Chains A and B, each alone.
Chain A
Amino acid sequence: MSRDFLAVELAPADGFEPRWRSPLERALRDAPPGIRDLSRTGKLHVHGDVGAPPGVEVVRVAPDRALVLCAAADVERVRGELGERVVDMSAALAGLEVRGERLMRRLADLDLDALPAAGAVAHVPATVLRDGDAFRIFFPQEYADHVGAVVLDAAAGLA
C-alpha cells in the first residue's frame, strides 16, 4: 500500500466530487482585512537534508526535519522530487497570514527579527515566516477555531 490516503489534492473519481473545506473557514468568516487563510498551501515534512526544488520554500523546524511549502497544485510534483522521506502534511497544518508587528507580538513570544522560526502562537505549536509586515503562521489544524478566535480577538484589541 502507498500513503495516498494523505494526499489532499486529488483527481475526481467514481463520479463523486469531494468538497475540500478549510479548518479556518468558519473562524475567519468575520476577519478584518489583512488576515488571510493560507490553509490550502502545500506543506510537506522532510526528514534529513533537503535540497530545495524550484518554487518551494524550505523552513528547518528541527535539526533533522524541514517544513517545505509550495503551491497546492505542486504538491505531487514536489513530493516526487524530494524523495522517500517525505510526508504530505498539507491537511495537518492550518495556515493564516496576519499583518503588523504589534498584532504578532500579542500572539507569540518570538523574536520577530529572527524568522522563520518554530514556537508557540496563541499557546499552540507553530511555524512562523515573515515577509516584511506580513507574517505567515502554520499550526496543527485541530487548533484552528482556537487560533482563529485568538487572532481575531487580538486584532480587535488593537483596532
Chain B
Amino acid sequence: MRLPPSPEERIDRSRTVTFFFEGEPIEAYAGDTIGSALFAAGRRVFSRSFKYHRPRGLLCCSGHCPNCLMQVDGAPSVRVCTAPVREGTRVRSQNVLGSLDRDLLAVVDKVGGPFTPVGFYYRTMIRPRRAWPYYERFLRRVAGLGTIDKHARRSSRFDTEHRRAEVLVIGGGPSGLDAARAAARDGRRVVLVDEGLALDAQLPREDGFETIAPARAIGIYEGGLVPVDAGDVLLRFRAERVVVASGAIEQPLLFPGNDLVGVLLPSAVRRLTRLWSLRPGERAVVITADDRGLAAAEDLRRAGTSVARVVDLRTTQPAQMAARGSHGRVRSVSVDGDSVDCDVLVMSGGSQPAYSLLAQAGARVEYDGTRGIFVPRDLPPHVEAVGSAAGEGARGAAAVPAASYRGTESGGRCFVCICEDVTDKDVKRAIAEGFDSIELAKRYTTVTMGPCQGRLCHLPSIRLYARETRAEEATIGTTTARPPWAPVRLGLLAGRGHEPAKRTSLHHRHKELGAQMMWTGEWRRPHSYGDVAAEVRAVHEGVGVIDVSTLGKLLVSGPDAVSFLERLYPNRFGDLKPGRIRYAVLGTDAGRIMDDGTIGRLSERDFYVTTTSTGAETVLAWFEWWNAVWGYDVSVDNVTGALAALNVAGPRSRALLARLTELDVSPDGFGYLDAREARVAGVPCLLLRIGFVGELGYELHFPSPYAEYLWDTLLERGADAGIRPFGLEPQRILRLEKAHVIVGQDTDSESNALDANMSWLVKFDKDDFVGKWALEHVRERGPRERLVGFEMANGTVPPEGGQIVVDGLPAGRVTSARWSDAVGKAIGLAWVPPALADEDSRIEIRVDGRLEPALVRLRPFFDPDDERLRA
C-alpha cells in the first residue's frame, strides 16, 4: 500500500515493472528498488542473520547494512534496498534452509547460543579428528551468505577504462558539489562520482564538471589511483587531487533486541516515506541521540504512523532500554521499565564520518572525545576531505548514556555487529579471554569483518571496548581500513579475459598443420604435429624444420663489444673470428647458471647473441644493467621479434638449402659453427651452422614478415626429401640423445657451470668476469654434485624430478628422461654425487616406489663423436 502521491517521490506510478521473488511475480513502479517494492508488497523479513539465522528486515535503506542481501539473477549478496527494479529480474533469498519466514537453521538462535560462543570454530568441532570431514561439510553448508554458481559462465560484460582528472570528487552531497563547483571555477578538470543519487537528491546538471553516477569509489591507492565501480565498467581514475565527500554514516544504538525486524535507522524512514511513499508501520517509538531521530519522527507522522514516544537521549538518560519482539518482529520497547507497544523502532546513535577512503589514502584517524566520533587527520598532500566526512557537523553518541550498553540482563541479545552476529557478550568474553587489543579482538570475534565493513559496528565496538576495559577510546585506536570500501563484483575486477600471449609469425601455420600448442613462458609453441616418433625420425633420416623464432636475439655492437661480453660471460670472445659462433653460458655474480645460447661474431664490433626462449627479457635487462655500471661504449638491441628463426636439420638439410641459396653450403665453404649472411629463397638471412638437435643443421634468422613465405617454400621444396615440421617434444628427445642441456630444465638456480660439466668454457685466466670469484671457490672446494647422463637397465622411463637413491637415501635427481628409438633405450640426465659420476657407475632411481637400476653415461647417447653434426 502506498501513500498518496507526493512531488518528492521517486516512483513513476504510470509505469509498472514486474520481477520475481522466489518465483512469484511482484509488481513494482519504475523508480522502485527491489527492496522498496518487496516492502510495498508486505514483506518485512528480508534476510536471515549470518550465525543465528535471526530474521532481519530493512535497517538503513542506504546500501550500508547486511540486512537485505539477496541473490539477484544469480549474483549473491546484492543489497536489494538500493538495487533498482528491472523487468523480469529473478530474486531469491539466501542463507536460509527452508524459507525466509521459516528458516530451519533458526534453531541455532534457540539452542545454539551456549554451543556457539565467539570463536567457537577455534575450539569446537575439532575432535575426534576423523570426524572433521563431516564437520567441514556441515559448516560449509551453513556458513557464508549467498551461493556462487560454480558452473556459471560470464553473465555480463565488464570493461575497464582508464580515466584522468585534475580533481576527483567522491560524493555528490552538498559539500561534494560545492568542492566540485569551486574547483571547476578555478579552471580545473573536475569529475564527481556518487554512489546513489539515483535515490536521494537528483544531482543538478552542471556544465563546469563531469558527473558519473551511480558510481562508487572502492579505494584510494598510491599515486592518486582511485578505482570506481560504475556498474559494468571499472573506471581507474588517476587524479592529481582527490576530494573525499563521502559523508557520514548513521550509527545504531546498543540495547537488547536492537536487531529486531522493525528497528530502523532514520535514513530508512526518510527514504521509505519520501522516495517510495511507503508507511513504515502503524505505531512507532523513536530513541535518538541527535536531530536525525527527531526528523524521522516528523517523517513518520507525515506518513500516518503514530509516534507513541520519543526518547531524546540528550535530555533523558534512561537506565535501561530493551526491545521485545515475537517471531523476530519488534512488538514493544521498554525504557526504564515503561513498556510501549510499537511495530517500528527508530534508533539514532549519531553519525560517524565515513573516513575509510581517507584512512586507506594514509590519513590518521583520531578519536574526538567531545563529539564521540572518529575523525580523519593529517591527510596526505593530494587528498582532502570536506563536509561530514571531515567531521563537520557530525555528532556521535557522546550523549548516549551508559545505560544503553547495559540491560542485557533483561534478556535478549544485544548486537554489536549485525553482519557477523557478534553480541556484547561475545565482545566481553573476548576481552575476558585476553584479546585486549582491538586488532586481535577483530580477528577473534570477526567484528567489523562482515559485509558492512565496519560502517555500523566499528564505532560501537570500540566504545564498548573502551567501557569494558576502562580505557579511553583514543588509546584503543581503530582497526585498519583496507580496500575495497564497498563490495565489488569479481568480474568487474577481472575485466575482459584476455591473456597476453606471444605468438611467432608461424603460429597460424602450426595450427593449420594440426599442431598441439603448449605454453613455454609467455610463448605459445607446438608440442608436436601429432606423431612425435615420425618427427624425430625425419630429423635423423631426412630433414625436419622447427620454428625457433622464440629464441631471444640481441645485437651487441660498439667498439667495446668484446670487452663487454668477455666481462659478462665466463667464455672468451676476443679470439672468436668474424663469421664464427661459440656456445656460451651466462652466469650470475654467484656463479650460478642464468641462461645459455650461441654468440656469433658478425664483425669486429658486432655480435649476435641468442638466449633461451624464456630468458630474453632477463638477459636484456642484465646486459643493460651491467652496461650502465661499466660504462662501455656498447649498444644492445633486442631484435627477438624482428627476426623469425627456423632450424632446418637432418642429413638432407644441406641439399635442400643448396636449392634455395647461392651461398656455398659445402662442408668446406660453410663449416660447423660458421655464421653466414645470404639470401635464402630471396629472403635476407643470417645462417648459423649449429645443431641443438644433433644432426647436420642450420638456423636461419630472417625478417619475421617473411616467415610464412620461407616456411612454405621450405616445405614445398623439401617435399621430395620428406621434410617434416617438428615440435618441441621431438626436439627434446633429439637433444637428450646428444645430452645437450636445457637451462632451467636440467639446471636450477643453484647450478654452476663447473658442476654441470661445462668447465671447458670457463676461462679463469681472464682478468675478471661476472661470477669469477664464486666459480674459483667452487673449483677449490670441488664439485658437490655432477650432471651426468644415464640409461635405464630395463627400459622404464623414470619421472622427471625422480630420486636417485644411494644406500636407501635420496642422493640426486632426474632432470630429463625420455625413450629414444634411435638409442633403443630409456635415457636421461641426472644430478648425482661426484663419486658416482663415472662411466658405467651403477645408480638406482625411484620409479613408482620401486628402485630401478641405471648406468651412468658421460658421453652423448647418439653420435658420440659428433660425426653427423659436423658432417
Contact = CB atoms under 8 A, between A and B. Distances in A.
B431 to A, nearest CB: 47
A92 B684 contact: no
Contact of B496 (A12, A47, A87, A153): A153
Contacts of A21: 505, 705-709
Interface string A73-98: 00000000000010111111100000
Contact of A140 (B557, B641, B681, B701): B641
A108 to B, nearest CB: 6
A106 B230 CA distance: 14
B500 A4 contact: no
Interface residues of A, number: 57
A150 B499 CA distance: 9
A139 B603 CA distance: 29
Interface in A32-74: 39, 45, 47
B635 A85 contact: yes
Interface in A130-153: 140-146, 149-150, 153
A5 B703 contact: yes
B643 interface: yes
A109 to B, nearest CB: 4
A159 to B, nearest CB: 12
B634 to A, nearest CB: 10
A7 B684 contact: yes
Nearest to B686: A5
A13 B680 CA distance: 10
Contacts of A1: 578-579, 602-603, 606, 675-677, 686
Nearest to A46: B635
Given A22-B705, A45-B637, A150-B496, A89 B642 contact: yes
B425 interface: no
Contacts of A115: none
B164 interface: yes
Given A5-B677, A18-B682, A106 B642 contact: no
B643 A6 contact: yes
B502 interface: yes
Contacts of A106: 159-162
A23 B704 contact: yes
Given A122-B500, A157-B157, A109 B679 contact: no
A89 B238 CA distance: 33
Most buried by A among B160, B236, B499, B679: B679
Contacts of B504: 142
B639 interface: yes
A7 B705 CA distance: 11
Contacts of B501: 143, 145-146
Given A149-B498, A153-B496, A18 B681 contact: yes
Nearest to A113: B164
B498 A19 contact: no
A12 B706 contact: no
A20 B578 contact: no
Nearest to A112: B164
Contacts, number: 159
Interface string B686-717: 10000000000000011111111110010000
A142 B641 contact: yes
Nearest to B498: A150
A15 B660 CA distance: 10
A91 B500 contact: no
Contacts of B161: 102, 105-106
Contact of A143 (B502, B603, B681, B701): B502
Nearest to B508: A26
A30 interface: no
Contacts of B855: none
Interface residues of B, number: 60
A93 B640 CA distance: 10
Nearest to A102: B161
Given A5-B686, A92-B639, A105-B163, A19 B709 contact: yes
Contact of A20 (B555, B676, B706): B706
Nearest to B579: A1
B741 interface: no
Contacts of B707: 21
A15 B662 CA distance: 12
Contacts of B523: 142
Interface string B660-686: 111000000000000111010111111
Contacts of A90: 642, 703
A110 interface: yes
B500 A146 contact: yes
Given A7-B703, A141-B641, A13 B682 contact: yes
A145 B159 CA distance: 20
B505 to A, nearest CB: 6
A154 B159 contact: yes
Contact of A141 (B661, B681, B704): B704
A54 B704 CA distance: 28
Interface centre among B637, B662, B713 (most CB of A within 10 A): B637
A30 to B, nearest CB: 15
**Residue among A1, A110, A142 with the highest chain B CB neighbour number at 10 A:** A142
A8 B703 contact: yes
B102 interface: no
Contacts of A2: 602-603, 677
B868 interface: no
Given A108-B162, A154-B159, A87 B555 contact: yes
Interface string B186-203: 000000000000000000
A5 B705 contact: no
B870 interface: no
A105 B502 contact: no
B507 interface: yes
A71 B603 CA distance: 29
Contacts of A26: 508
Given A109-B162, A122-B498, A145 B503 contact: yes
Given A1-B578, A1-B602, A19-B709, A14 B505 contact: no
Contacts of A10: 682-684
A87 B553 CA distance: 13
Given A1-B677, A16-B682, A124 B500 contact: yes
Contacts of A6: 639, 642-643, 703
Interface in B625-675: 635, 637-643, 660-662, 675
A20 B644 CA distance: 13
Contacts of A143: 500-503
A90 B679 CA distance: 19
A140 B635 CA distance: 19
A112 B161 CA distance: 13
A107 B686 CA distance: 36
A13 to B, nearest CB: 5
A19 B707 CA distance: 9
A146 B704 contact: no
Contacts of B236: 109
Interface string B83-122: 0000000000000000000000000000000000000000
13 contacts: A1-B602, A1-B603, A6-B703, A8-B705, A16-B683, A18-B709, A26-B508, A92-B639, A109-B236, A111-B238, A124-B500, A141-B641, A142-B523
List 7 A-B pairs, minimum CB-CB distance, nearest first. Answer: A16-B682, A92-B642, A142-B502, A109-B162, A5-B686, A91-B703, A1-B602
Given A6-B703, A16-B660, A85-B635, 7 more contacts: A5-B686, A16-B713, A20-B709, A85-B557, A141-B704, A143-B501, A146-B499
Interface of B: 157, 159-164, 236, 238, 496, 498-505, 507-508, 523, 555, 557, 578-579, 602-603, 606, 635, 637-643, 660-662, 675-677, 679, 681-686, 701-710, 713
